[in-house]
Amino acid sequence: MLHRAFMVLMLIGLAACSGPERIDLVPKEAPNTDERQIFIATTRQPDGARDFSSKRNPQLNYARYDVSIPPVHQAGQIEWPRRTPNPATDFVTKRIMPYPTVADFSAALNRNPARDTGTAIIYVHGYLTSFAEGTYRLAQIAHDRKDPDTTIHYSWPATENALEYARDRDSVLFARDGLESLIRTVANLGFGNIVLVAHSLGSSLVVETLRQISLQGETGLMQHIDGVILIAPDIDTKVFESQINRITPLPKPFIVFGNANDRVLRFSALLTGRAKRLGQLNDTESLRNKGIQFVDISVVTDGVNGHSVGITSPTVLSILRELPNPNAANDVRVLQPRARASIR
């Protein structure tokens, strides 16, 4: 009974933390803003002219959102408009370019100035994340990393309701084919390096999709994937072990950012009847034996503490800035003495 009461309280708390984020289209210019082109592939149903809902869509929709980041931006934060959106102080969208077909989307990826780096970052958001939050989060990460590469947001139909966790886990399975299709599209354009970055439940989607590709024997497609970064991954440890055993070749580097004190992962473990999720591991020898590196961020004190520290902490973002160089992870040193991350 106590466990059940605790779960209810956790659900209420999580629901209270989810805000009404939205896409604000503000085409006017403001000085000293940074504009980030975020390409979109989504299995969400369209919701009006500029947004997407949590309803499942068997067809991928494609677009590009040009997100303006204000000069007052603080690393790790999304400055949401409180009233009338203002590009001088808020994250806003300057323009939206829908692409009716995958051919249109592919042509736009090829035309984009970041194409010359040959690297594409595909970001997969987590549980309890709206389309707007996922899109602006990728813009924030790309800005804070000073990322020169092509950035793509794969937005799967997560809900904004903490009570629908089970539904979101089903949506992860629903969204696998869409992510595989996106990876294939990007690889076919000749991007030599595809880096998959996932947060929370999105990590389960990424690993499931890699397993699916590998089981199909598509070694060539797997070789386009130049790195995988899982941040606070919400995956059963035994399930992860079985998934990894079927993924060949395993992308390198393969890095897990985790925190044994992550309260959201504790809730997930309790809800699913397991002691630990992948992002809570203390003993990481089994990961090292498979060539997977674990970065312990439990002592990181900047950013939004808890489940989101890995995508909001300037310390963690400074580590991400060095990735996906396969040799960088072993040499990363955190600069802030009170916010050291242990890499093992």
Among the listed ranges 160-169, 180-189, 216-225, 318-327, which one has the minimum average pLDDT value? Answer: 318-327
Are residues 190 and 116 in contact, defined by beta-carbon separation less than 8 angstroms? no
Tally the residues of the chain.
344
Q: Which two tokens stand for residue 27?
A: 């085409």
* pLDDT tens digits along 103-154: 999 999 999 999 999 999 999 999 989 999 999 999 999 999 998 999 999 9
* pLDDT tens digits along 280-331: 887 788 899 999 999 998 888 787 767 888 888 888 888 887 776 544 444 3
pLDDT of 274 reads 67
Rounded Cα distance, 4 and 25, in Å: 43
Render the burial of 96-132: b for 16+ CB within 10 Å, e for the rest.
beebeebeebbebbeeeebbeeebbbbbbbbbbbbbb
Are residues 226 and 256 in contact, defined by beta-carbon separation less than 8 angstroms? no
* pLDDT tens digits along 37-92: 999 999 999 998 899 999 999 999 999 999 999 999 999 999 999 889 999 999 99
Residue 282's Cα: distance from chain center in Å? Answer: 23
Among 70, 202, 51, 226, smallest CA distance to 127 is for 202
Mean pLDDT computed over every residue of the chain: 86
* pLDDT tens digits along 197-250: 999 999 999 999 999 999 999 999 999 999 999 999 999 999 999 999 999 999
pLDDT at 264 over 90: no
Q: Which amino acid is at 22?
A: R
Rounded Cα distance, 206 and 149, in Å: 20
Strands lying side by side in the sheet with 342-343: 92-99, 51-69, 34-47, 150-155, 119-124, 193-199, 225-231, 254-258, 292-296, 342-343
Average pLDDT, integer, range 268-288 = 80
* pLDDT tens digits along 20-35: 588 999 998 899 999 9
Q: Which helix (H) or strand (E) holds 168?
A: helix 165-174
CB under 8 Å, gap of 24 or more: what pairs does 77-85 form?
Answer: 77/140, 77/312, 78/133, 78/136, 78/137, 78/140, 80/19, 80/21, 80/136, 81/24, 85/24, 85/26
pLDDT of 161 reads 86
pLDDT of 3 reads 46
Helices and strands, counts by H and E, the chain: 12, 10
Is the pTM for the entire model greater than 0.75? Answer: yes
pLDDT of 306 reads 76
pLDDT of 12 reads 39
